[in-house]
Structure 1
């Protein structure tokens, strides 16, 4: 991405049905308000904003199955997002998806699979694994399941005609910055051979080595996507997230990770999720999201 400025198409996905704390639906607006378009344009990107996909309001809905709260409505929103992402890829543009809770990643990945015709790879930068299933989730919140669903491992409940699955291959999935896993997620990681680079490992080997390995493992045919949950950063850096976990990435580690991703030239799409302005301080987490997007899309100091 760093070598040749491209057209970047922003898609907002103000989905907040996948978790239990209100406010994350305002994340796309907060990130835009923090100067996203102007920042990307400042280093040569042509920016197109396709607005927001339509999502349902939880107040107007019944929860449904407690093991997969609001799942039908989430799948409908993800299907609309998948169609938009596929259109953007077909136009030769870089999709930049703004969330919203992390369940929307299922739509992004399904759209990339539809556009390229095959499963791809994903670098999942997150404090959590998001590898629960309806049978193993301790909460029933779908934002803890999208990666399992994208792998085709979440069961029949996630089948939807607008979401071709599996969207990613397990050997090309790399989780970076993880520090909170449920027991069933650990079992699934071992069973499928998914690479997880925990914060402990990052402390030992450094963020650059971790990201370079992630790029190497995720690379291949189809697509390489980066899904960045702002809770990957330490809460002292990015407090405006719904499920903060102490001991996350520093400001500079997060920037270096994004700079390495840009320099690799293999990443074709990006999403920034779980920014919650209600829990933030002076829109600071959204501002950091803008800065990280710029680094991942090729902005450099020199």
Structure 2
């Protein structure tokens, strides 16, 4: 398979800070080489520095989305499968736009469904999925080339266990499909029944149980082991049209032994083999 790996090395407006170091660390840890050894043609593109010199979180976060949208669109136009390595979850809005995605699978320990009206921290990434679903930041999202908000009924939220106070009642009113990894088949069937044709897969690496794999400082107890997540996402990829992927929120400062890159490589090798077979 022809694959484009797109690096978006930002964390909350900071270039190569915190989780913004993750994309380079994944590549340096052998991710691209693992995919080449599996027989894939790999091209790596870095969006570089974008946004303003002040590094304002909101302005820069959406500038990253704009740049990623362009790179993903180029990849798709050239017949390449886009994999975005990002510091922030919001970056998936750019990938969704570039792919013209009409559905999303969001694996994350957090709901990312706060809005400026409900957030008590002001953390933009805590509003990432809400932005993708058109629940907030609509004028900013509308400036991302090709962006169209995804219907919440076409969203699968996987293993979200650390929800803020305002997110819990919101999820009771939204038709979001919630699942744990063992229930992936039922979730895939429900998403397939919506008629979704272009699905984006978002993996925040802190979805894992930190006892098995700690990706960043936000990790909280619970969640799947790497092999459980791999079975779930590859199972869904085998029955659903996955058009692109974002991997976010890896901070190598919390991975002293370098466990994360090889496990991400294993996941992607199996995932791409599954996508290729459809």
TM-score (norm 1): 0.82
Quote the residue 2:47 is aligned against.
52
Q: How far apart are residue 159 of structure 1 and its match?
A: 4.0
Of 76-85 and 40-49, the range deviating more from structure 2:
40-49
Equivalent residue number for residue 226 of structure 2:
251
Relative to structure 1, the CA distance from residue 165 to residue 192 in structure 2 (aligned partners, 3 Å threshold; closer, same or farther) is farther
For residues 17-166 of structure 1, the aligned pairs below 5 Å read 17=12, 22-55=17-50, 61=54, 63=56, 70-113=57-100, 120-156=102-138, 158-166=140-148
Q: TM-score w.r.t. structure 2 length?
A: 0.89
Q: For residue 13 of structure 1, what is the aligned residue in structure 2?
A: 8
> 2:168 pairs with 178, 183, 186, which one?
186
Count residues with an aligned counterpart: 272
Gaps spanning 5+ residues in structure 2: where?
Answer: none
Cα distance in 1 for residues equivalent to 2:96 and 2:28: 26
User: Using the alignment, how far apart are the partners of 1:152 and 1:241 within structure 2?
Assistant: 27
Per-residue deviation, 1:52: 3.4
Deviation at 1:292, TM superposition (A): 1.7
Please state how far the C-alpha of 1:222 moved relative to its aligned partner: 4.2
- Shift of the 218–112 alpha-carbon distance from structure 1 to 2, 3 Å rule, reads farther
| Aligned-residue offset at 1:32 | 0.5
Preserved CA contact (<8 Å) 1:12 1:52: yes
> What is the deviation of 1:157?
5.3
Partner Cα separation in structure 2 for residue 32 and residue 245 of structure 1: 26
Q: Taking structure 1 as reference, are residues 112 and 53 closer, same or farther at Cα in structure 2, changes over 3 Å only?
A: farther
Q: Distance in 2 between matches of 1:262 and 1:43?
A: 18
Query: In structure 1, how many angstroms separate the alpha carbons of the residues matched to 2:208 and 2:232?
Result: 11
Shift of residue 216, structure 1, vs aligned partner: 2.5
Report deviation, 1:147: 0.9
Deviating more after overlay: 161-170 vs 24-33: 161-170
3-state DSSP class of the match of 2:263? helix
Q: CA deviation at 1:80?
A: 0.9
Q: Deviations over 1:1-34 (max 9, x none)?
A: xxxxx21110011110169x94211111111012
